Structure 1
Amino acid sequence: MDTKSKNSRYSVLAVFALLLTVTLSFLAVTDIYENRAHLQEDYYFDSRSFYDELSTEINLIEDVHVGFAGYESKRMLEKIDSQSLEQINENRDQSLKEKKREIAEQYAPRIQEAQQAGKADEVAKLTTEQANTLEEETKSIQAEWQRSMDEMVASKDQEYEERKNSLSFRDSSFKYFIQDGKRNKVYTNLNQEPTESWLKENALYSFRFPQNVLADSTMYADLNRSFQMKQWKGVIYIPYNPDGYSQIHADATYYNSVRERLMLECGLLVITLLISGALLWYTVTHKAVQLPVVQKSLALLRRIPLDIRIILLLPAIMIYLITAYDMNFFSFPIGFEQIFTLIIMVPLTAFFLLYVLEGWNMYNDSEQFRQQWQRSLLSRQRSLLKESYSNRSVFFKVALIFVLTVGLGMSIALGFVALVERVEELLILTFLYCMFYAICVLPYIFRRIGLMNRLLLGAAQMAAGNLHATVVEKPRGKLADLAHSLNNIKQGLQHSVESQMKSERLKSELITNVSHDLKTPLTSIINYVDLLKREDLTQEDIKSYVDVLERKTNRLKVLIDDLFEAAKTASGSIELNIEQVNVSSLLNQAIAEFSDKIDASSLTFRVNIEQQKMYAPLDGKKTWRVFENLIGNALKYSMPHTRVHIDLFEKNEEVILTIKNVSAYEIDFAAEELFERFKRADQSRNTEGSGLGLAIAKSIVELQGGKLQIDIDGDYFKVIVTFRR
């Protein structure tokens, strides 16, 4: 017991360890895949980050050495480009022109008015005032122009200083020696041009532009093309040891650290995969799948419908991937982020492994898959849809009412919008649709609801036992068909009740008849046995009593034998020896067996056999018993001094026997009741018949594939037996 418990604990630990190693393997795979480019040696110098840094360096070289060439020795106006200078001068001249026009328009009416009045002093004063105002405005515009020039130059100076300082700051990261063929100049922060051998020894990475073999698809193709257009050539390199802080070296160091981490992760991946394989082998060999925790988890999983499980798989995979990609699991120091990642991913790993295990179970057991699929929502909804669509008329009517009702809601909403926005056309359309719904759809719904209520009321009355309740049937529609079917069910139920009552009556008669037919000879036997016990009997009396006992005993034996034979034939448990039998010959033999009784009776038998050879696949002995019972019934129950007609003929691949006679007893019941056991035309039961002959004959005929039926017309009695050829 302790060993079993210990093995169980080991299996649980193995399952948990398997989940952990699989999770670590997936985290390693995702991190390696996401950063796979870092596995390339010197990947940093092929990265977009370094490309941007290099592009910035080249742009700064061009700005400082070309765009701002000789900038410090330039005068103020030379620092501003001609286009900007032209624009600012044009703005100044335009402002002066506008001011002159405004001042002239301001003083012209007053000067003209003074001239017309002949006031020379006023004219001179206004002219002088106009000139002074124009001079002041001109000085103001000129001062504004000067401020704009100073601001533009200051901005240019600041831009130059920023670019120069930025280039100087990056000298620790980049060294360059570039020859400008167009301007015949050299741009460098080195003392001399480095040689290839010197670069191999002292450069961490170097670029020589332009290159004729550089592919157009690489990132540096644009830079190479730029060098060609500028007619530049030279080298840019990153030194092994920077003069000061270098962002390039810091980034390169980080990229190398990522590469080293990925190499360690590759080793960790191999180890975790090996451990996972070993743990998987252990769990399989020790049947860890049978652990209660695994089985309970599978049981919980199976409670979720199969299609919902498949749908849930997608968000679970997305959460798994997002967590694996977003969380920086393989980073130091180890803290809450790593714990949080495992808290999320280990249960998800267990979830996926349960999916795999359940999928394997369903693969091996297709019946389990079929059962789970039958319980799925899609399968159940498909069954519901199939059932609802089985009657297309009802389906489309309900769908149409649903659409029209949704349209009513939408039209009401649009009506409110039209009322607020005062859109008369839309309001009219809404009103017309509501009227259509109220006049056409609502009455239709109410009529169907009324008919449904009548159906429910009628069904309730029928269920309560009122078989005379009737549901009014409308002339058209599926509900009218349902009402008609309900009324038919009522009629069928009435017929069933009547049949049951009839069956109960026949059972009572059966018990009464059996009791009477068995009691009569048994009572006689008991009475004569009591007589035989008397001591004063003569030999003649004893012999007489014994003869009566023998006769009654034989009568009782015949009744019991017939009862057993009737039960066997009705259950179909008798064995038939089917062969080709000459029915004509068999009928002649049966009639011959009854020749003495026929002669002794007052009946006249008329036998008409169409052919002397009429064959059918029958059991001869059982068929002879049928003939015996039918001829015996005719002898027992025919009215004296009448004729009995027996006809045998062929018709439509059938052999047909008819026996017609006039009944000696009034038949005031259905012909089918004569086939019931112990049912006799002699209701007083004075004849010697058992009441089982017709029942036995009918069962034997039907077991051989034939048919036996009775026609009664007043006292005229006709038996028709049909055998298949």
Structure 2
Amino acid sequence: MDTKLKNKSYSLLATLALLVTTTLSFLTVADLYDKREYLQEDYYFDSYNFFDQLNTEVDLIRSVHVEFAGYEQKKPLEKIDVDTLERITHERDQSLKDDKQSIVDHYNALIQEAQQAGKTEDVAKLTTERDSKISEKYREIQSEWDKRISQFVKDKDQEYEERKNSLAFRDSSFKYYVVDGKRNKVYTNLGYEPSDAALQRDALYSFQFPKNSHSRTNMFADLNRSFQLNQWKGVIYVPKSPEGYSQIHADATYYNSVRERLMLEYALLTATLLISGVLLWYTYTRKAAQLPVIQKSLAFMRRIPLDIRIVLLFPIILIYMAVAFGSTFFSFPIGFEQFFTLTVMLPLTAIFLLYIVEAWIMYNDGEQLRQQWSRSLLSRQRSLLKESYSNRSVFFKVALIFTLTVGLGMSIALGLFAIADRVEELLILVFLYGMFYVLCVLPYIFRRIGLMNRLLLGASQMASGDLKATIVEKPRGKLADLAHSLNNIRQGLQHSVESQMKSERLKSELITNVSHDLKTPLTSIINYVDLLKRDNLTQDDIKSYVDVLERKTNRLKVLINDLFEAAKTASGSVELNIEQVNVSALLNQAIAEFSDKIDESTLTFRVNIEQPKIMAPLDGKKTWRVFENLIGNALKYSMPNTRVHVHLTETQNEVVLTIKNVSAYEIDFAADELFERFKRADQSRNTEGSGLGLAIAKSIVELQGGKLAIDIDGDYFKVIVLFRR
């Protein structure tokens, strides 16, 4: 017991360790992939960060040495570029011109009025005032212009100082020696032109311009092209030992540290993969998948349909990758981010491992896969779709109504758009579609809803026992067919109920008739037995009583035998000996057996046998019993002094026997009831019949594949027997 417990504990620990090592492996792979460029030696000098720094250095060199060349010796107005100075001066002159013209126009009108009035002093005064205003406006505009020029110069001085200081500050990061062929000048922060040997000795990285081809990336090629266009040549390099702080060296050091860390991560990945492989082998051999915690987890996961699980796998993968690639798990210091990453990724890794275990189980057990797939939503929806598509007419009608209704919603949205933008053509189309929906689709839907309500009401009435309820079967369609089927079911139920009631009635009559037919001879037997017990009986009385007892006993025997035979034939348990029988001879034999009774009766038999030899595959003994019962019934129930017609003929497929007579009793019930057991035309039951003859005959005929039918026209009685040939 302790050994099993230890094995389970070890398996659980191995599973947890596998979970951790798998998570670490994926985090390592993600970090290595995300920072794969850092594995390149001197990757920093091919990075955009270094390019920005180099491009900034070149811009500063161009700005300080070209754009601001001789800047400190320039006069203030020379520090401003010509275009800017001309623009400002033009704005000053135009403003002065406009203001002067406005002042002149104003005072000219006043001076003209004074001249017309002959006010010489006012004219002189207005002229002086006008000139004063113009001078004042000139001084004001000139002052503003001087301020703008001063501000421009100040801004330019500040820009120059910033660029010069920036370039000087970066001297510890970059050394340059550039020859400007266009201006025949040299720009450098070195006292000499560096040789290849000096670059090999002092440069951490050097960039020589121009070159016809460049091994670096396109961004450096663009910079090389810029040097060519400006007719520059020279070298820019990063010194191995900076003089003071250098952002370039700090960034290069960081990039190298990342590369060193990635090399360690490669070692970590190798270790975690090896450990994961060993743990996977251990958990497989120890059947860790059978651990209760894993089995419960799998059982919980199986509650989710298989196809939903497959779909959920994609967002889980996206979350997993987003966390893995978005985190800086291997950065320092260790803090909340590492804890958060593990908190999210460990459960997700556990889910992935459960997916793998479940996939392996289904791969090895096809029945498990089939069971889970049968419970999937897609499989269920497929069954529902198959059921809904089983009647294509209904499916397409519902789909069409759904589409038209969706179209109505879209047309309303388009209508609002058409009203807002006043698109008359679109508004007309929307109106026509709306009219079509209202006039055609809605009435169709309402008619079907009305029929559905009638179906529900009719079905409810039928369920409550009202078998007279009828459902109107309009309009045409599948619902009308359903209404027709419900009406047929109602009729079938009504017929079944009537048949059941008839069966109950016949059952009751059967019990009454059996009781009567068995009780009558039995009562006579009991009475005559009591008479025979008397002492003063003569031999003639005794003989007379015994004769009566014999007749009654035979009568009782016939009733019981007929009852058993009727039961056997009705149940189909009679064994038949089928052979080719001459029906003509068999009928003649049956009539001959009844010749004495025929002669004693007042009936006249007219027998017409079409052929002396009419053959059919029958059981001779059973068929003889049919003829015996039918001829016996004719003798018992025919009206005295009438004729009985017996006609035997044959067709290509059948042998037809017809017996016609006039009934001595009024037949006021259905002909089919004569086939019921103990049913007689003699309702008073005074005749010697058992009431089983026709039932036995019908069963025997049907067991041999034939048919027996009765046709009644008033008191005219006709029996038709058909045998297959």
Q: TM-score, normalised by structure 1?
A: 0.80
Q: Could you tell me whether the CA contact under 8 Å between 1:103 and 1:130 is conserved in 2?
A: yes
Q: Is the 8 A contact 2:657 2:720 kept in 1?
A: yes
Deviations 1:173-218 (A, max 9, x none): 2222222222222222233333444434543332222222337973
Letter paired with 1:177: Y
Quick one: which amino acid aligns to residue 650 of structure 1? T
SS across alignment from 2:594: helix
C-alpha contact 1:14 1:283 (8 A) present in aligned 2: yes
Deviation of residue 268 (structure 1)?
3.5
Q: Which residue pairs with 1:178 in the alignment?
A: 178
Query: Residues of 2 paired with 1:280 and 1:678: CA distance?
Result: 86
Residue 501 (structure 1) shift: 0.6
Alignment of 1:592 onto 2:589 = yes
1:558 aligns with 2:557: no
Q: For residues 23 and 533 of structure 1, what CA distance do their matches in structure 2 show?
A: 113
How far, CA to CA, are the matches of 1:410 and 1:173 in structure 2? 65
Q: Is the 8 A contact 2:114 2:123 kept in 1?
A: yes
CA 55–302 in structure 1, closer or farther in 2 if over 3 Å, else same: same
| 1:52-76 C-alpha deviation (Å, 9 max, x unpaired) | 2221122112112222222222222
Counterpart residue type for residue 655 of structure 2: I
Hey, what's the Cα distance between the residues in 1 that align with 2:362 and 2:336?
Answer: 39
Whether the aligned pair in 1 keeps the contact of 2:308 and 2:377 (CA below 8 Å) is no
Shift of 1:172: 1.9
Alignment of 1:50-449 (within 5 A): 50-214=50-214, 218-305=218-305, 308-355=308-355, 364-365=366-367, 367-373=370-376, 378-379=381-382, 382=385, 386=389, 390-391=393-394, 395=398, 399=402
Amino acid at match of 2:335: G
Check whether the contact 1:525–1:553 (CA below 8 A) recurs between aligned residues: no
8 Å contact from structure 2 (residues 11, 286) kept in 1: yes
**Alpha carbons of structure 1 residues 272 and 560: separation in structure 2 relative to 1, 3 Å:** farther
Does the 8 A contact of 1:172 with 1:242 survive in 2? yes
Indicate how the Cα distance of structure 1 residues 113 and 550 shifts in structure 2: closer, same or farther if over 3 A, else same.
Answer: closer
C-alpha spacing 1:586/1:46, structure 2 compared with 1 (3 Å)? farther
In the comparison of the two structures, how many residue pairs are matched? 709
Do the aligned partners of residues 531 and 186 (structure 1) sit closer, same or farther apart at CA in structure 2, a change above 3 Å counting? farther
Residue aligning to 2:598: 601
SS at match of 1:206: strand
Structure 2 CA distance for partners of 1:706 and 1:294, relative to 1, 3 Å: farther
CA distance in 2, matches of 1:577, 1:47: 107
Counterparts in 2 of 1:427 and 1:171: CA distance versus 1, 3 Å: closer
Q: Structure 1 counterpart of 2:660, which letter? A: N
Q: Tell me what 1:649 maps to.
A: 650
Q: What is the CA-CA distance between 1:698 and the residue it aligns to?
A: 4.6
Alignment map for 1:17-28 (pairs within 5 Å): 17-28=17-28
Which residue of 2 is the match for residue 629 of structure 1? Answer: 626
Q: Distance in 1 between matches of 2:521 and 2:424?
A: 104
Q: 1:89 to 1:627 in 2, by over 3 A?
A: farther
From the superposition, tell whether residues 614 and 285 of structure 1 become closer, same or farther in structure 2 (CA, over 3 Å).
farther
2:51–2:220 contact (8 Å) kept in structure 1: yes
Any idea what SS the aligned residue of 1:214 has? coil
Question: Helix, strand or coil for the counterpart of 1:237?
Answer: strand
Gaps of 5+ in 2: none
Counterpart Cα distance in 1 of 2:650 and 2:472: 53
Identity of aligned pairs, percent? 59
| Conservation of the 8 A alpha-carbon contact between 1:661 and 1:718 | yes
SS at match of 1:601: helix
Paired with 1:471 and 1:147, the residues of 2 have a C-alpha distance of 102
Structure 1 residue 498, shift from structure 2 partner: 1.0
Answer with 126-135 or 153-162: which moved more: 126-135
Of stretches 53-62 and 428-437 in structure 1, the one that deviates more from structure 2 is 428-437
- For residues 410-463 of structure 1, the C-alpha deviation after alignment (integer angstroms, 9 at most, x for no partner) is 899999x99xx9999999999999999999999998888777666655554444
**Equivalent position of 1:660 in the other structure:** 659
Indicate the SS of the match to 1:191.
coil
* Rounded Cα–Cα distance in structure 1 between residues aligned with 2:228 and 2:594: 139
1:146-192 per-residue CA deviation (whole Å, 9 max, x = no partner) reads 22222111111111111111122222222222222222222222333
Deviation, 1:692, is 5.2
Further displaced range: 655-664 or 58-67: 655-664
What letter matches 1:504 in structure 2? E
2:498 matched to which residue of 1? 498
> Once the two structures are superposed, what CA deviation does each residue of 1:527-551 show, in whole Å capped at 9, x if it has no partner?
999999999999x989989977995
C-alpha distance in structure 1 between counterparts of 2:23 and 2:692, whole Å? 84
SS of residue matched to 2:214: coil
Secondary structure at the counterpart of residue 661 of structure 1: strand
Q: Measure the CA separation in 2 of the matches of 1:563 and 1:202.
A: 128
Displacement of 1:389 in angstroms is 7.2
Q: 1:173 to 1:13 in 2, by over 3 A?
A: same
Partner residue in 2 for 1:713: 713
Q: How does 1:430-469 map to 2 (within 5 A)?
A: 459-469=459-469
Residue deviations 1:662-705 (CA, integer Å, cap 9, x gap):
25655443333344445455556666766555555555655665
Cα displacement (A) at 1:317: 3.3
* Residue pairs, 1:523-538, within 5 angstroms: none
Deviation string for 1:456-505 (max 9, x for gaps)? 55554444334445567767788777766655554443322212211222
**Letter aligned with residue 31 of structure 1:** D
The offset of 1:267, in angstroms, is 3.7
For residues 531 and 267 of structure 1, the distance between their equivalents in structure 2, rounded to whole angstroms, comes to 126
Contact 2:584 2:612 in 1 (8 A): no
| Pair 1:293–1:526, CA change in 2 (3 A) | farther
Say which SS state the counterpart of residue 332 (structure 1) adopts.
coil
Please tell me the residue identity of whatever aligns with 1:649. Answer: E
- Say if 1:79 and 1:492 are closer, same or farther in 2 by CA, change over 3 A: same
1:375-407: CA deviations, max 9, x gaps? 767447646864897537974896599679969
Q: 1 CA distance for matches of 2:715 and 2:266?
A: 108
| Aligned CA distance change for structure 1 residues 246 and 509 (closer, same or farther; 3 Å) | farther
* 3-state SS of paired residue (2:218): coil
Contact preservation (8 Å) 1:630, 1:693:
no
Amino acid in structure 1 at the alignment position of 2:253? T
Residues 218-277 of structure 1, C-alpha deviation per residue, up to 9 Å, x if partnerless? 332211211111122222222333222222222222223333333333443444444444
Give the 3 Å change call, closer, same or farther, for CA 76–329 of structure 1 in structure 2: same
Distance of 1:687 and 1:674 partners within structure 2: 15
Q: Distance in 2 between matches of 1:543 and 1:225?
A: 148
TM-score of the aligned structures, taking structure 2 as reference length: 0.80
Kept after mapping to 2: 8 A contact 1:39/1:262: yes
User: Which residue number in structure 1 is paired with residue 580 of structure 2?
Assistant: 582
Using the TM superposition, name which of 634-643 and 384-393 deviates more. Answer: 384-393
CA contact (8 A) 2:677 2:692 kept: yes
